[in-house]
Chains A and B, each alone.
Chain A
């Protein structure tokens, strides 16, 4: 598979389907037993994780696995410092990351005592501060409430608009329908499907093979397909529009 610069890609699959394994190949945490991984046009083999981390940032599922400093600022500065940036460079990257994840009010707080949503934003900010061109987010919305999720995704979309490639690992199909431009369905260590969300959701059978289900709005569209509603609806607005159109046509 190829991931092009600036894409917003979702890797979806049930638990144990291999989505995290796939993503860990991208930054060298895992190495392929067969085949090759190419990052930024050059083979990943022979480059260390630390070298690849300049290009591919990876925010782990559990923010508690990354946080250890006594303040948010320090935490975010850890990555750039590892990359050998000068103090001035570290400071400017920290500012940028704090702004990107909207953490200004928390900058002096100890990250481990923040609430989960904030901890996760800190851990993502600490990866952003390394200015990777690709940002991998492993289930970034687990344990977040609706408002926190919306807030986090808004920040991530902004990064994407600014040119970052986003790889989102999730099994939240609503999230995928709303944000991703491309969906890769993984099951039992294989890629079953690689398409846009419309294509991925129009065939529930493929998703079922990976223990997934299309988002409720698409399921509703499937039920209504006998009434002339297309099966590839991915948002409530679109469904409403389609139903109105259908009624208009029927009259």
Chain B
């Protein structure tokens, strides 16, 4: 279950060591690039580059498959559904009542799927090479208000806790004869109430205690916050940023200014 919540995998590759701010900027840039590129070939080249990064970051195959399983299903859905709902273009390959399958529509579907693949994989790389603490720290350094950063960090931190809590409560109610998988939808909904109410009450109690704990450690005593760990840009981070900017700017210029159809 925690795999869902935190994709981060310990590692010591250059992607793990990179300044998280650079990584966030890089991911944003590559996402923008994914939208700028319209040509299937260029998108596939981008996808290959992204997978190369995945490989360089020593992503474990099984974890990657687990994380990207849902994206893969989504991509297949796009490829299947796109031609069905997009009757434009010629030549028409098949007609089935009101449904017209055209060759350009098929390619458009594949292109969109490739785009989704690029975006998902690049964000996945960010999530699995950057710990949540670093991510939040970088966001705060990039200008996010500190309280918001803390809120995000705490929410992320408590997701696995609440998931364990939920499981425990489900067991407790099962021990009282609750059967969650039986009965009509309405009855099942009512059954889940027996699990949800204690979960919410416990969560609220936890939140209450947590806020007291924060206050007792003088949270918010001084408006200017200091940091135990400062983020520092190293030369390699500068180089990486330069490369990323180039990766975005060159194709963007080529397409938007010089009208190269990529």
| Chain A residues packing against B (C-beta within 8 Å) | 24, 27, 29, 48-50, 53-54, 57-58, 60, 62, 64-68, 78-79, 82-83, 112, 126-127, 130
- B160 CB, nearest partner CB in chain A, Å: 17
Question: Contacts A24-B171, A29-B171, A60-B168 hold; do A68 and B176 have CB atoms under 8 A apart?
Answer: no
Question: In the complex, how many residue pairs between chain A and chain B have their CB atoms under 8 Å apart?
Answer: 64
Q: Which residues of B contact A (CB under 8 A)?
A: 165, 168-169, 171-179, 193-194, 197-198, 201-202, 205
- Verify B198–A65 contact, CB threshold 8 A: yes
- Contacts A78-B194, A112-B201 given; indicate if A65 touches B172 (C-beta within 8 A): yes
Chain B residues in 8 Å Cβ range of A29: 171, 174-175
- State A216–B177 Cα separation when bound (angstroms): 40
Q: When the two chains form their complex, are residues A79 and B177 in contact, meaning their CB atoms are under 8 A apart?
A: yes
A53: B residues at CB distance < 8 A: 174-177
Which chain A residues border B198 with CB–CB below 8 Å? 64-68
Closest chain B residue to A113, Cβ basis = B201
Structural contact, A127 and B197, CB atoms closer than 8 A: no
Contact A65-B202, Cβ < 8 Å, known A24-B171, A29-B171, A60-B168: yes
What does DSSP make chain B's interface, helix, strand, loop or mixed? helix
Q: List residues of chain A with CB within 8 A of the CB of B202.
A: 62, 64-65
A227 to chain B, nearest CB (A): 49
- Complex Cα distance A126/B172, Å? 11
Contacts of A130 in B (CB 8 A): 176-177
Whether B175 contacts A64 by the Cβ 8 Å rule is no
Residues of A within 8 A of B201 (CB): 64, 67-68, 112
Query: What is the distance, in angstroms, from A39's C-beta to the closest C-beta of chain B?
Result: 13
Contacts A64-B198, A67-B198, A68-B197: A78 and B176 contacting too (C-beta < 8 A)? yes
Which B residues are in CB contact (< 8 Å) with A62?
168, 202
Contact A68 B193 (CB under 8 A): yes
Q: Is the CB of B176 within 8 A of A48?
A: no
Asked if B205 contacts A64 (CB within 8 A), the reply is yes
A67 to B205, CA, bound (A): 14
In the complex, are the beta carbons of A82 and B175 less than 8 A apart? no
11 sampled A-B residue pairs with Cβ under 8 A: A24-B171, A27-B175, A53-B177, A57-B175, A58-B172, A60-B168, A60-B171, A64-B201, A68-B194, A82-B176, A112-B201
Q: Is the CB of A127 within 8 A of B176?
A: yes
Are B173 and A50 in contact (CB-based, < 8 A)?
no
Q: Are B172 and A60 in contact (CB under 8 A)?
A: yes
